[in-house]
Amino acid sequence: SQQGEEDPQALSIQEGENATMNCSYKTSINNLQWYRQNSGRGLVHLILIRSNEREKHSGRLRVTLDTSKKSSSLLITASRAADTASYFCATDAVGAQKLVFGQGTRLTINP
């Protein structure tokens, strides 16, 4: 069963703008992770936020987590053409013994 649902499915913005992607999930989690996938290639880990954290930063990335709403957001600031990729959230649900991925947001940065 899919735990994470992402919104929007696709996002197209101009270079330099900020991009925000959202993820909702259904059950209690230990942590939530975000990954990037360039077309047809392996996923690359971006950031992990634990259930007791509300916000985390890594370079141009900012992740928030609201466990009461069971949702997370990924903000990419000052976007670049190289940020064009698909972005996935993945939840480590309590007792699940596995990461469950959402269907992803396809982000396109236009020069």
Q: Which of 3, 84 has the CB closer to other proteins?
A: 3
Contacts of residue 4, Cβ cutoff 8 Å, sequence gap at least 6: 23, 24, 25, 32, 88, 89, 90, 91, 100, 101, 102
Give the three-state DSSP class for 111: coil
Residues lying near other proteins in the complex (CB under 8 A) = 1-2, 30-31, 33, 35, 40-45, 48, 88, 90, 92, 97-104
CB of 7 to other proteins, least distance (A): 13
Q: Which of 2, 27 has the CB closer to other proteins?
A: 2
